[in-house]
């Protein structure tokens, strides 16, 4: 899930909830009812890869499946539904699928390569041991949310991590742990995502704003740094995105 919040209700499993973007998930179909319940207020974006049994069998023949995937393959009715810890590599591959850097036949090759990359990351994620969850008190959660509002209030001159921690009355490490738990990203990653989200909207909706000034508006003093960050996030430069109107 790349944006939005909600829950996955799959018959035979507990309800899986996500409240931050960039959350990988895995669901076995098993001929059962599966529903996505989305919270209002923010658009939901997700990338889903559907693997048929034949594809899993080919991977299993090459010893390329983690135990959970092997169990699903062995028992076609095994109910599995997990929302996993946030993973930057998974999020980046999924985002790249939505914003191909090429057109035509090259775009198809791009998407195929990114789909394989996403699959590799997901299987690797499933094979690893999940990290121990960080437990925040209700007071800590409220302070982390306040820190988030303070962080994104002015993208041109955001506070340092130390200033943010002092403002929230929490240690810097605890702030980062809280951001990971609530938003699935570190403080720096949340700031970068907020900048890119605003930049994306301005690139497409305000063609009258020169890119140099737009870069300054979202916190970049050097246009080249902004262009590089935008290209890494969306797979295309802001100038090209503006010329093509954001179309795939």
Higher per-residue confidence, 72 vs 178: 178
Mean pLDDT of the chain: 83
Query: Listing from the earlier edge strand, what are the strands of the sheet with 6-10?
Result: 16-18, 6-10, 34-38
What pTM was computed for the model? Answer: 0.51
Check residue 45 and report its DSSP letter.
B
pLDDT value at residue 248? 43
Is residue 217 predicted with pLDDT exceeding 70? yes
Residue range 189-244, CATH number: 1.10.10.60
Residue 66 pLDDT: 79
pLDDT attached to residue 134: 57
- What is the pLDDT, as a whole number, of residue 20? 79
Closest CA to 178 of 7, 20, 23: 20
Q: Where are the domains of the chain?
A: 6-127, 138-184, 189-244
């Amino acid at each position: 899930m790349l944006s939005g919040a909600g829950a996955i209700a799959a018959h035979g499993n507990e309800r899986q909830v996500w409240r931050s973007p960039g959350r990988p998930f895995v669901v076995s179909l098993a001929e059962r009812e599966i529903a996505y319940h989305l919270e209002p207020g923010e658009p939901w974006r997700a990338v889903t890869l559907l693997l048929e049994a034949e594809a899993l069998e080919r991977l299993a023949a090459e010893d390329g499946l983690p135990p959970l995937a092997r169990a699903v393959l062995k028992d076609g009715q095994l109910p599995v539904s997990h929302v996993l810890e946030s993973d930057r590599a998974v999020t980046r591959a999924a985002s790249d699928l939505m914003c191909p850097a090429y057109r035509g036949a090259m775009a198809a090759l791009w998407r195929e390569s990114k789909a394989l990359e996403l699959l590799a990351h997901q299987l690797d994620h499933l094979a690893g041991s999940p990290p121990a969850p960080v437990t925040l008190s209700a007071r800590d959660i409220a302070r982390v949310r306040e820190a988030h509002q303070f962080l994104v209030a002015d993208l041109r001159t955001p506070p340092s991590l130390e200033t943010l921690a002092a403002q929230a009355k929490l240690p810097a490490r605890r702030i980062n742990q809280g951001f990971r738990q609530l938003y699935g990203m570190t403080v720096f990653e949340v700031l970068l995502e907020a900048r890119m989200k605003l930049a994306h909207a301005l690139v497409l909706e305000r063609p009258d704003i020169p890119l140099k000034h737009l870069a300054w508006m979202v916190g970049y003093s050097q246009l080249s740094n902004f262009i590089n960050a935008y290209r890494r996030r969306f797979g295309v430069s802001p100038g090209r995105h503006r010329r093509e109107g954001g179309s795939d």
